Amino acid sequence: MMVWDGWVKAAALATAATAVAAVLFTGKSLRATENQYGLTQRTWFTDRFTKATEQIGSEKLNVRLGGIYSLEWLARDSSSPEQASNQSMIFEVISGFVRTHRAPPKSDLGPCEVSGIVDLDVQAALTVIGRRNTAHDGPDPINLADSNLRYASMRSAKLRGVILSGTDLTCGQVVDVDLS
């Protein structure tokens, strides 16, 4: 009987050791899977970001619009606190597009005309900036300084913290805009 008890104890110890080893292996496997998932997410973001930034440099309006809205989609997917740098980078590209847009110089523009409009791609970029979730803004403010935004429509836009110094908003529709 005593020999039998020894075998039972040995079997129980072996089972417990196997269970502990399985738990440790599962933990390591889970960490490896999490690391692989994080790498896949970063690669996916980088690929989508690169494609969208290439699109906004296109000669074709529809491709530029697709790039702008792709960047908006990426910004919404980058809304967690650990991804704030992604969102800052996205809005830096969008605001850079607006600032460097080749609008007519201010001196060539006359008084407001009923038919005046801002280019569709610039308006789309402003719309994306204006409807972003400001709670997820990164540390760097969006910079639209010295932009020519004549005739731009910014209804109900969230422009909190956006740098607008020297920006021409003449003839624009700036209604119910958060400029805090």
| Residue extents of the structural domains in the chain | 2-136
Q: Provide the whole-model pTM.
A: 0.74
pLDDT of 107 strictly over 80? no
Query: How does residue 94 score in pLDDT terms, banded at 50, 70 and 90?
Result: very high
Record the tokens describing residue 25, joined without a space.
């292996």
pLDDT at site 90? 92
Residue 117 Cα to chain centre, angstroms: 27
pLDDT of 12 strictly over 80? no
